[in-house]
């Protein structure tokens, strides 16, 4: 494979054609002038020491040297370097409990934040493994499909909160079942599910789900987080605690027995998580014990710069041109080097020597890539910024800089670099990856409408990317879910306003009735006691029927609800 990074400079080769035409025109004019002195054969004998072939050789040496420099300026890239790398690791799914009980503060700062810190440290310790993220409460859904993009995993992890799932409770069985379906289809890969929960399984069936996973060769590890003695569940922003239907403060207790049963059934281990760092150490030990298997082979192709060879050829030809005189001479080559007529050639020699020693943006990019492979993201950022200073129009520099910033959790700065790269990039495959990364950032920021647009642009350029298709579908689902929640809230507000209006009308009617009772009425218009009681009973029946109707309508709008809302 061969290409020029800057092919526009090849148009300078046309200048060489013009120089060649001028050169032969000058030779023609000289021959015409020589003919004026006499016979060319006799005249040539008068020019002793003048060589007929040296000037022509020197001219073409200079021409080929200039052509070499022009080709080097166009940055030829060929001899594609293939680096076959085998990824050896595991596939791990993190099933994280996000029920309200995870807000208990018996583990600092609270159970959920402690779990998120452990997962973040776990991701930092991975290298060639794949990881997926599932959140669950009364129901479960995939927060991040299984991937080797650790930056995306940590970004999605930061956005997790109990408000993500409207159906509260703790359904561990559903989380394990969904995790089993979320692995890749590749065979002979070590797989593990890490369930992080406080152990309050409201639905049951978790042990059976763990046994089913173990039968498929998937290990189930359970990280029980919290205090067995229990702790109240705070309501965020109120300073109060969740109470049950009887008005008692709910105390969420870690069920270690159930956690051990799930881990044993899943052929895994149980890890107790408290305020110490021992759980993190045990978790990493369990990861290291899992057998690593070859998951896939990835081929990294990178164009090698070949301008150095052309620069070297040009310098060598210029040197020969400097040492070669147009006429035969006994002078040494060193004296020839400093002749006045060679000063221009020497200047060109020094100029192109300095040009060859100067750094190009491609050199900075290659150094930055090496730092990225070594996970030294801050140094990679510096190299990419130097590349942009050399050439601000190279989309690869902006894209790579965006990646380096994203790995340092600087999503806003990374987004700006991706946007610049998208404006400059022409290659469809790289453009698809740029829009994919932009979509990941926007999806993590819960800007689902913009994320959907970015994923659509990515799929227009590369419709074969399964990960982009999945993220697009997930963002679209989350966007529709948010719109439905907004519609439900508006409907509830309308119903509430309608109820308040009816209540106000009833109060006005009661006030009017009381006012009518206080006014003197003619004897013949007064109501008997029996008639009044009948009307009162009828009104009570109507009110009861109205309340039942309202309650039934509310129940129809509600989703599946568990007995426990924590």
CB-CB contact of 467 with 145 (8 Å): yes
End-to-end CA distance of the chain: 61
Cβ neighbours for 436, distance < 8 A, ≥ 6 positions apart: 454, 455, 458, 465, 467, 468, 471
Report if residue 338 sits inside a domain: no
DSSP β-bridge partners for residue 297: 86
CB-CB contact of 562 with 248 (8 Å): no
Same domain, 204 and 284: yes
- β-pair type (218-225, 270-273): parallel
Tell whether omega for the bond before 109 is within 30 degrees of 0, i.e. cis: yes
Q: What is the dihedral of CA 518, 519, 524, 529, to 10 degrees?
A: -10
Mean pLDDT of 320-325: 78
Same domain, 370 and 461: yes
Q: Phi/psi at 234 (nearest 5 deg)?
A: -75, 150
Same domain, 50 and 134: no
Flag whether pLDDT at 337 surpasses 60: no
Same domain, 89 and 72: no
Higher local confidence (pLDDT), 524 or 193: 193
pLDDT of residue 350: 53
DSSP β-bridge partners for residue 300: 83
Count of domains in the chain? 3
Share of the chain above pLDDT 70, in %: 72
What is the rounded distance in angstroms from the CA atom of residue 60 to the CA atom of residue 39? 28
> Exposed, middle or buried: residue 145 (CB in 10 Å: 0-12, 13-18, 19+)?
buried
pLDDT of residue 559: 40
Domain boundary among the residues 461, 480, 499 is at 480
Which residues span the domain enclosing 138? 85-298
pLDDT of residue 288: 85
Let me know the angle formed at the C-alpha of 112 by 109 and 113, rounded to the nearest 5 degrees. Answer: 45
CATH number (domain holding residue 172)? 3.40.50.410
When mean pLDDT is compared across 130-144, 245-259, 545-559, the lowest value belongs to 545-559
Residue 62: alpha-carbon gap to chain centroid: 51
pLDDT of residue 210: 92
pLDDT of residue 446: 81
Mean pLDDT of 118-138: 88
Question: String of b and e for 64-92 (b: at least 16 CB within 10 Å)?
Answer: bbbbbbbbbbbbbbeeeeeeeeebebbbb
What is the rounded distance in angstroms from the CA atom of residue 74 to the CA atom of residue 5? 6
Q: Phi/psi at 167 (nearest 5 deg)?
A: -90, 105
pLDDT digits (tens, 9 = 90+) for 368-419: 888 888 878 888 898 899 889 888 888 999 999 998 898 888 888 999 999 9
pLDDT digits (tens, 9 = 90+) for 42-93: 666 666 556 677 788 888 888 999 999 899 888 887 654 444 455 677 899 9
pLDDT of residue 497: 60
Same domain, 310 and 291: no
Report if residue 373 sits inside a domain: yes
CB-CB contact of 167 with 201 (8 Å): no
pLDDT digits (tens, 9 = 90+) for 151-165: 778 888 888 888 878
pLDDT of residue 44: 63
pLDDT digits (tens, 9 = 90+) for 342-354: 455 555 555 555 4
């Amino acid at each position: 494979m061969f290409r020029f990074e800057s092919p526009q400079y090849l148009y300078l080769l046309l200048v060489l054609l013009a120089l060649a035409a001028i050169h032969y025109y000058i030779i023609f004019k000289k021959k015409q002038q020589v003919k004026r002195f006499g016979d060319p054969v006799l005249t040539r004998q008068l020019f002793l020491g003048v060589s007929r072939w040296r000037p022509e050789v020197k001219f073409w040496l200079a021409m080929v040297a200039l052509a070499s420099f022009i080709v080097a300026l166009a940055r030829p890239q060929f001899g594609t370097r293939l680096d076959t790398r085998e990824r050896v690791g595991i596939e791990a799914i993190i099933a994280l409990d996000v029920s309200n009980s995870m807000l208990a503060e018996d583990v600092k700062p609270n159970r959920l934040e402690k779990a998120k810190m452990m997962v973040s440290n776990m991701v930092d310790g991975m290298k060639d493994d794949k990881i997926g993220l599932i959140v669950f409460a009364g129901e479960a859904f995939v927060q991040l499909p299984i991937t080797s993009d650790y930056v995306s995993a940590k970004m999605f992890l930061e956005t997790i909160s109990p408000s993500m799932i409207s159906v509260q409770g703790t359904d561990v069985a559903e989380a394990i079942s969904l995790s089993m379906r979320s692995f890749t289809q590749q065979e002979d890969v070590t797989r593990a599910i890490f369930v992080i929960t406080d152990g309050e399984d409201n639905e049951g069936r978790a042990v059976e789900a763990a046994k089913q996973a173990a039968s498929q060769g998937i290990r189930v590890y359970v990280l029980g987080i919290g205090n067995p003695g229990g702790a109240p569940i705070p309501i965020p922003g109120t300073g109060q605690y969740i109470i049950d239907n009887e008005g008692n403060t709910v105390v969420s207790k870690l069920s270690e027995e159930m956690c051990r049963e799930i881990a044993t059934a899943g052929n895994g281990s149980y890890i107790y998580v408290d305020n110490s760092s021992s759980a993190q150490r045990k978790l990493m030990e369990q990861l290291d014990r899992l057998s690593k298997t070859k998951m896939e082979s990835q081929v990294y192709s990178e164009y090698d710069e070949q301008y150095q060879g052309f620069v070297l050829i040009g310098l060598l030809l210029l040197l020969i041109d400097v040492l070669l005189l147009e006429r035969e001479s006994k002078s040494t080559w060193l004296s020839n080097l400093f002749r006045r007529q060679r000063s221009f050639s020497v200047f060109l020699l020094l100029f192109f020597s300095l040009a060859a020693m100067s750094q190009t943006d491609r050199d900075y990019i290659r150094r930055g890539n090496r730092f990225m492979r070594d996970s030294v993201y801050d140094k990679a950022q510096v190299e990419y910024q130097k590349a942009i200073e050399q050439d601000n129009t190279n989309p690869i520099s902006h894209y790579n800089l965006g990646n380096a910033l994203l790995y340092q959790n600087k999503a806003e700065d990374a987004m700006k670099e991706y946007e610049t790269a998208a404006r400059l990039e022409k290659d469809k495959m790289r453009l698809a990856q740029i829009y994919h990364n932009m979509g990941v950032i926007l999806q993590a920021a819960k800007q689902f409408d913009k994320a959907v647009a970015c994923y659509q642009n990515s799929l227009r350029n590369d419709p074969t990317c399964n990960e982009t298709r999945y993220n697009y579908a997930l963002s679209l689902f989350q966007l529709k879910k948010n719109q439905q929640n907004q519609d439900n809230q508006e409907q509830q507000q309308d119903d509430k306003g309608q109820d308040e209006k009816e209540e106000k009308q009833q109060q006005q009617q009661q006030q009017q009735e009381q006012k009518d009772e206080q006014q003197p009425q003619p004897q013949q218009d007064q109501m008997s006691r029996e008639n009044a009681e009948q009307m009162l009973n009828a009104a009570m029946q109507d009110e009861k029927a109205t309340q039942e109707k309202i309650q039934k309508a509310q129940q129809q709008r509600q989703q599946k609800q568990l007995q426990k809302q924590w």
